[in-house]
Amino acid sequence: MSHIYESSNIFVETSSFTRSPNQKTASFIEKLRNLLTKDLDLLMEGEKVIDEFIKIVDDLKQLKSHLDVKQIGLLVSIQMLANSFKTNVPYVLDSFKKFDYTRENNFNTVLMEQLTYLRQGEQSLHDEIAILIEKEASISNDIASMDASLEEEVAKKKEKRNKIIEVMKEKKYTLYKIAAEESEIDIIRNYQDRELNNAGKDLNVALKMDRDMKEAWNNIRDLLDLM
């Protein structure tokens, strides 16, 4: 029942009823039971649920001296899970985000297309250079076998050969630039592969942590059903 006292026009209400430790314990366990009806999904509202869970654990710890044997066993279990939440949840969420970010920013497919295109161009240049080498050799043979008195013809042949040599230099320089670009792409690809591989390893660890926490969550739910 309640008593109301009036003093200087100020009403103060006091309660003659204060909940006992057992009643508080029952209330917290009921809150826990209701909370555990939710599935533990860290990517949805997991952090909010976990904060509520840890708050209930802290409240029950304050009543430890009033708990019975079964309730002590429950407290031990939920404390262990609360500690796992505090330690593992930040790592799990960070690993999920890191893997998604790394995968979304991995351009290996595009880079491989560029690399394939460059290598096709590289092969074409090698084929063209091989043809030019044959032409140069043929002209050089012609010059060697020509009569020295045919100066004008020899000069024309030499000019043609020089042009071929110049074209070969340009194509070889293009090959050099392609090789440099391929090397740069390979460096980027290798770096991104390592990043994705490392993110994948972290994700596997995080997924195991997530499974273990969900299993513990469900086990506590089962434990409450037996109480």
Triad 175, 178, 180: Cα angle to 5°: 110
Exposed, middle or buried: residue 93 (CB in 10 Å: 0-12, 13-18, 19+)? middle
Mean pLDDT of the chain: 86
The pLDDT-based confidence of 121 (bands split at 50, 70, 90) is very high
- Domain 21-227 classification at class level: mainly alpha
Q: Is residue 2's pLDDT more than 60?
A: no
- Bridge pairing between strands 10-15 and 2-7: antiparallel
Specify the pLDDT at position 109.
82
Q: Which long-range contacts (CB under 8 A, 24 or more apart) does 217-220 make?
A: 217/36, 217/40, 217/81, 219/77, 220/32, 220/36, 220/74, 220/77, 220/78, 220/81
Q: Taking residues 107-132, report their average pLDDT.
A: 91
- The string of pLDDT tens digits covering residues 144-166 is 887 767 888 888 989 999 999 99
Exposed, middle or buried: residue 170 (CB in 10 Å: 0-12, 13-18, 19+)? exposed
Q: What's the number of CA atoms in the CB half-sphere (13 Å) around residue 81? A: 30
- The string of pLDDT tens digits covering residues 16-56 is 357 788 888 889 999 999 999 888 887 656 678 899 999 99
Q: Taking residues 2-21, report their average pLDDT.
A: 48
Give the residue with greater pLDDT, 1 vs 115.
Answer: 115
Distances (CA, A) of 91 to 36, 140, 211: 22, 71, 14
Specify the pLDDT at position 148.
67
